[in-house]
Structure 1
Amino acid sequence: MNLRFTYLTALLFTFFITSSYSQVGIGTTTPDASSILDMSSTTQGVLTPRMTTAERVAIASPAKGLLVFDADLDVFYYFDGTTWQPIGGGDKRNNYKLVKSVADLSDELTAGGGSTYLLDTNTLYEINGTIVLNYSIDLNNAYLIGLDTNEDILVFPGGTLFSGSNGGSIRNLTLSAPGGTVFNIDDVSGSQNFVLQSSVVANSNSVGTLKGFYLAFLNIVQYAGNTDGIAYESINDLLLNNQGWLDTNSGTYETFAGTFSLIEKVSGFSQVSAGNIGVDLSSNPTVGEGVLLSTAFSGVGNYVNGYTVGSYTNYYFTKEWFVNSPGLELETDFVASGNFYNTNSLTTGFTQTISDGTAVEIEGTGTFTTDGLFRFASSGGGNRLTYDGLATRNFKVTGSLSIRVLNAAGDFYAIMLAKNGVVITQSNAVAYIDSNTQIQNIALNCNVKLAQGDYVEVFVQRLTGSGTDTLAVFSENLSIN
């Protein structure tokens, strides 16, 4: 009788609870009115069914919304009525780390011995917000990216932001080292790559030094408010594209030193304010091929501090460079030019003995000087122009002479150009000698193809007559361009 009473009482109690409450609380006596089940705990969690992938996909007729934890993949899955879908972690990429504070780099600081943030090789680090560092970063061939250059910022006050001997890639970030240096990286192996792209370098004591890389590629970088610029040293291939130097920078913006196979600086601008230098080449770097193209130089500062050896008078660069940028003198093989002329008195000139019909250089007792040599050199007493450029090309050669020939009345003479000591036939200009007092003006005009090391001279040849004649030259001028 008592047992039957107890059973009925429990049944009635259960019915009362079920019908009186639409929510169930675990760990709380006041479940939320919007929930069927409200669980509250500060020491425990909810444990869903855990199973292998094979067990999950073997569930017969799973209900829409069914939730399990896949222990093989370490991911929660839910059934959407058609297929199993991962939740959250299923879309996470490998070798990735989100950095929202310097504390997120604690593992890297440990790897760097407590004095450097040694990044994990081939790992992508996404910088979110402003990260104020306490130590330098060793890129270690990792990737650093941001999504918003204005908001994603790396700052190291008073220190060197990036150091070590490893390359890596940096994109979409603002880099700043107030009172310090942004880069001090020396790839001693000469085999690594460095990439800086779509970034801002600002408000630093020095942009710093990049040295030794096999390839360094800097693309779409803005520099602002830096006390001094960047030095590139002995990089095999250095590619600089769209570098923007604002006039808020000071010091020397870009310095090149050491040995390079290629320097290619294209587009961008340099606003060089008073007392500052845009490009410094004064250490005379060795460059296999140099290109400075379409970079706009402006301002009242010194655009280029040029080579001290190997360049040409009133020019900055050596023959290995192709320079075509607004604000700078055009320096390419295609504008190579030169001129020589004799400096003897116009009324007396100089003389030369002609004893046979062989074509010989006009030199005699004359003295010569050169003017406007660009990628040409003078030799042979100053009246030989030697091409110094690298590109084989056609040149236009023009010349003029005023001459008189003694003891040659009735004879014919030819004045012509010679390339490498060989007469250029199409350049012949013929003169008939009428008397000892006759002065004739000779014009020369010819196109000639020159390769590096080829040279041009002015020759004379007696075409008729014999004996010994005296050629008097009152003026001689030759130009090539």
Structure 2
Amino acid sequence: MKPVFSLLLVMIFARSYAQNIGINATGATPHASAMLDVSSTTKGFLAPRMTTAQRTAITSPAIGLMVYDTDTNNFWFFNGVSWTQVSTGSATNYWSANGNDIFNNNSGNVGIGTNTPSEKLTVKAIGNGITHTDGTIKLTTYLGSDAAGDPAGGWLGTASNHPLYFYANGGAPRMSVLTNGNVGIGTTNPISKLSVQTPTNSFGLTHTDGTVTLETYISTGQGWIGTGSNHPLTFFTNGLQQMTITANGNVGIGTGSPANKLQIGALGTSGFNGNDIALGNGTNATGLFQSNSILQVASTTDIAFLTRSNGTGLGNLGINTATPTNQLQIGSVGSTGFNGNNLAVGNGTNATGFAQSNSFLQVASSTNIVFLPQANNGGGRVGINTSTPRAPLDVIDYVAIPNSNYDYLNYGSSLNDIQRCSPCTANVSIRAESAVYAAEFDANSDARIKNVTGMTNSEKDLETINSLRITDYTMKDKVKYGNKPFKKVIAQEVEKVYPQVISTHTDFIPNVYQLTHKVEKTADGYLLTFIKKHNLTRDAKKLKLLSKESKAMEIVDVENIPSDYQVLVKGTNITDEQLFVYGEEVDDFHTVDYEGLTTLNISATQELSKQLKAQQAAIEAQNIKITQLMATIILLKDKRPVAKRHKADKGMAKN
């Protein structure tokens, strides 16, 4: 009766709760989602047990029908098509356990998030997919784009703040990706976006198409990049070839086929091949070649150096110096102050500067200047305006100095008519400010170049010499001459007596010869103010002055003379607070032809000699007459009487 009674209770209970049934020992209500809710803490659910033959003999099994197969010792369920094993591991490749491990030996693919896996393991997910972590370091896969706006794609890396390493053969990391984005190959500490570390004397990066090979190489103390095959190395930008190194070592910039060791641009048909350096624009070219004795610079055009790109004169070029203070400087000029020249040459202590102004080339040196033509081996000559000097110094051409007084041959009247020219222009080849010292002075005096009109009047020349006054004086230019005494003639005085030896020309006189008190820049130039009177004449046109900055005399134009203490001069770049003003330019600067004076002196000396000879002859004639008179007197005395002679002799003796 107990089983029948129990079944009756179950049926009553089931009916009480309509469509779902609960089987339990507590009388708990079955779960609303289950048709049959079996619960127990001491007993299990026992499914129908049958052999494989019995299972497969079930007619029209329902989908989800489950039985326990006693032949396979596993649960089986019907999926609507076939029986499927719920297995802990079998030959049909489902997940199986092996101790603490789990594995799948299914011959098909495994899908996670997909029922159509295309690979042995296919994970279908947007965002993170596979994750490997130890709780701190996280290695993960990712599909899509991240919040930073990076492009969509497949991602593999660390999701934690740790580097990503790639390795092979279970060894050390072969490639590293740091959290800052640096990638290292052969190093776990890349210091740049891509760092490749290899042993010394080994290759690093290689790019090849099977024939051409581009490589990097590290040797002891050197880094190499180039081709490992017999091909040129080319550098390009914007898809265009910019620089090429050929297989024979020639370097080309702007050309892919350099014919010189370094070639910039195309040479065209210039023929400048085989140089050390060549520059070309496709039509013309310049080549530089170093031999054992010279550096050859050859060009199909003119050669110009333009520093700072446009030749404004602001750029300096240095040879053997990294800090040139001159436009072209060879060596160091030390503390000589030779700065701002066009060319300067120095040895670190002394220097020489070359500066070109609008009117002259200035050569200044902190030492003596010596010319050694032909290396001072004898026969060396210096020519001015001549390429074939006939003497150690040969000056060809002359400078026309106006307002000079000299004689000339007047072809306008009778032939050989010597006339006076005042003023005229003197043609001067050499001029010296002070004395010219030489063992001998030779002047042109060949009779074949002269038309002799007669002999000089030596008596008149003696009168002229006697009219000249010799003067003691010192020079006003104390800086140049100091207090050295001179004993010479004054040109203005000589002009009054013997104007033939006086010439006048343009030069500067030291009538100012003082420092300025102030230098003020104005709209019209620079106003110079002095403590003492400047002594300038009212028609002064030019001044010679010394600038501390240039350390050379300069010539400026006079704009105006406001007072005896001020003068306004033109200028564009005067920066000194004080200037030394030498004086003004005059057009009647007097010079003396001392050769003419010497000749005059010779004529006067000859006249004196003639006069002395005449006087000597007269004296000798007078002496003869005196001797004759004395003889006559003695003779007359001998003819007197004896008494008278004695008396006369006594008187003469007494006297």
Please tell me the TM-score bracket, short chain as reference.
Answer: 0.3 to 0.5
TM-score (norm 2): 0.25
State TM-score, norm by structure 1. 0.32
Q: Which has the larger radius of gyration?
A: 2
